[in-house]
Structure 1
């Protein structure tokens, strides 16, 4: 285990905190409360979290340029104007399926975006993972219950994803120019031997995968071959996703959730839903802007 110090970065408790994304140009952290239909914004120098209400469930964000962001939502990919907060549909995805919503997503080094969908009640095998690049959308993998851990090796040659319901992490070889898979997925981590489930992940500049362990209250570091390097305890049981923050991407923030907790459970887990900062120097990476 680890003696890494952990502090509360934002004390705004999210029903389902997810999808953290860091904007290095403005030193700002963004993340979502999916079920609360909120986008959270924290300028790290200011220290006060801003809340933006959303008309739909959204789960992840990709940078476009100084004026725009791309939001992954329950009805598709929508452009958000940063100044006004207005949304514009770019491409509909499963908009005709009110039983599903978006979940995990991340941008490949090529600028392609991988994003997942799932049933709003976590219906078994109701979700999928999609690829978006320069206006085109393709479905990559079907029959996934809870898609998570979408992330990529530094050179873009490997993509990772998980089905939290199965508690399995996969890796798949990719075309570095397009982010498309070129082979079948390979099981890399079988997580059933450990408490909790494999949730969101990021990969640092050295190829180490950092995974938030939903229900396990910790952040795990894995090699590309699926070997556990270390585990860092966190103050909330249901942690959801890490992100590299800071100009040098040398710190980690982690979101969490109080989804499914009754009053007694929340009393026993008082930090649930908050966002945390790890006192740990890492060699991270900033996400590539998405190629529209």
Structure 2
């Protein structure tokens, strides 16, 4: 596999996040949380389409009906790229004005697991939620300042939850009924190598993590052993997606947020999209189940 990432598309995102490979249109979808907007990138034509969002947008996931579900600051929305519209489905955390939604994943049953965070990155008000058949429920997972992931194992039985400022990832069992159990420590990091950001699982059960301030994305085996490290020419690597024709092409979002003018001058590609090849393919993204 590649040990260094290469530039794929120039975007200059303030906070690029949430990449997801869409097999149905062979394109990469991702967001710039702070712009705020949704992007679609076609690797074949190199076309880059932008859709402005009405508030901070943390993630976007394909739905069964061909449209999308997007996590905006205060709720889940249906997103229709044909007219660029966002329609509210479920409001979230109306009583926490400084919170916003941050990252998400779909499990094999079509449920969305997503988290919130304190947008000021100070208070532990970030919770983990589940959306299933039109209803949102807050899990019993203890709150943290910045939630990331979840990364869902290939069998859908484990959720890897990232506590970014806590520099840790916990593995939580998911029951057959969709309930999430108490977590066990999975990984603990040193801030000198960056803060764990977005995470996904590959088909081998490995966990890929982007490191904010770490100049890298790293893969960890189910036992926690680091198996791969891919270096970047930019410091803030936020999350990767696995896709392409064979599922072994990685697409990575990055961010300019928090970089001084001096650091931006030394990282002119910050906020762009990068790519590299992997030995193990990704898990095709399950469309969100809309059956009510």
Task: State the TM-score, normalizing by the size of structure 1.
Answer: 0.94
CA–CA distance in structure 2, aligned partners of residues 134 and 3 of structure 1: 40
Q: Once the two structures are superposed, what CA deviation does each residue of 1:120-179 show, in whole Å capped at 9, x if it has no partner?
A: 11122021111111112111124211111311111111110111010000001112x443
Partner of 2:37: 38
Partner of 1:115: 114
- Counterpart selection for 1:262 from 251, 260, 275: 260
Could you tell me whether the CA contact under 8 Å between 2:161 and 2:170 is conserved in 1? yes
Partner of 1:76: 75
Partner of 1:151: 151
Does 2:171 correspond to 1:138? no
CA–CA distance in structure 2, aligned partners of residues 193 and 15 of structure 1: 22
Could you tell me whether the CA contact under 8 Å between 2:5 and 2:230 is conserved in 1? no
Partner of 1:288: 286
For structure 1, list consecutive stretches of 5 or more residues without a partner in the other structure. Answer: none
Does 2:172 correspond to 1:168? no
Distance of aligned partners of 1:38 and 1:87 in 2 relative to their CA distance in 1, 3 Å threshold: same
Could you tell me whether the CA contact under 8 Å between 2:99 and 2:119 is conserved in 1? yes
Deviation at 1:109, TM superposition (A): 1.2
Partner of 2:96: 97
Q: The residue matched to 1:267 in structure 2 has which SS?
A: helix
Deviation at 1:236, TM superposition (A): 1.1
Deviation at 1:10, TM superposition (A): 1.3
Could you tell me whether the CA contact under 8 Å between 1:156 and 1:179 is conserved in 2? no
CA–CA distance in structure 2, aligned partners of residues 225 and 12 of structure 1: 36
- Where in structure 2 are the equivalents of 1:143-222 lying within 5 Å? 143-175=143-175, 177-181=176-180, 183-192=181-190, 194-222=192-220
Could you tell me whether the CA contact under 8 Å between 2:57 and 2:72 is conserved in 1? yes
CA–CA distance in structure 1, aligned partners of residues 152 and 22 of structure 2: 18
Could you tell me whether the CA contact under 8 Å between 2:243 and 2:281 is conserved in 1? no
Could you tell me whether the CA contact under 8 Å between 1:67 and 1:82 is conserved in 2? no
Q: Please, what is the CA RMSD of the aligned residues?
A: 1.5
Q: The residue matched to 1:127 in structure 2 has which SS?
A: coil
Partner of 1:62: 61
CA–CA distance in structure 1, aligned partners of residues 277 and 156 of structure 2: 28
Q: Which runs of 4+ in 1 moved over 4 A?
A: none
CA–CA distance in structure 2, aligned partners of residues 121 and 193 of structure 1: 19
Moved more, 192-201 or 227-236: 192-201
Equivalent residues, number: 289
Distance of aligned partners of 1:67 and 1:193 in 2 relative to their CA distance in 1, 3 Å threshold: closer
Deviation at 1:96, TM superposition (A): 4.1
